[in-house]
Amino acid sequence: MRVAKRIAHAGLCSRREAERLIAEGRVAVNGRVLESAALDVMPDARITVDGKPLPEPQPTRAWRHHKPRGRVTTHRDPEGRPTVFEALPEDMPRVVSVGRLDMNTEGLLLLTTNGELARHLELPATGWLRRYRVRARGKVDQAALDKLKDGVTIEGVRYGAIEARIDKVQGANIWLTVGLREGKNREIRRLMEHLGLSVNRLIRVSFGPFMLGDLPVGAVEEIKPRVLADQLGPELARQFALGGRTGHAKAKPPERGKPPRRKAAARGARR
Catalytic residues, which ones?
102
Torsion, CA 216, CA 112, CA 131, CA 215, rounded to 10: -10
CA 143 vs CA 20, 67, 161, 177: distances in Å: 43, 32, 15, 15
Give the integer Cα–Cα distance in Å for 185 and 178.
15
Q: How many CB atoms lie within 10 A of CB 265?
A: 16
Q: Which residues make Cβ contacts (< 8 Å) with residue 108, sequence separation at least 6?
A: 64, 65, 66, 67, 204, 205, 206, 207, 210, 211, 212, 215
Q: Which residues make Cβ contacts (< 8 Å) with residue 31, sequence separation at least 6?
A: 46
Q: Is 14 in contact with 21 (CB distance < 8 Å)?
A: no
Give the integer Cα–Cα distance in Å for 66 and 261.
13
Q: Is 3 in contact with 39 (CB distance < 8 Å)?
A: yes
Give the integer Cα–Cα distance in Å for 204 and 147.
22
Q: Is 62 in contact with 112 (CB distance < 8 Å)?
A: yes
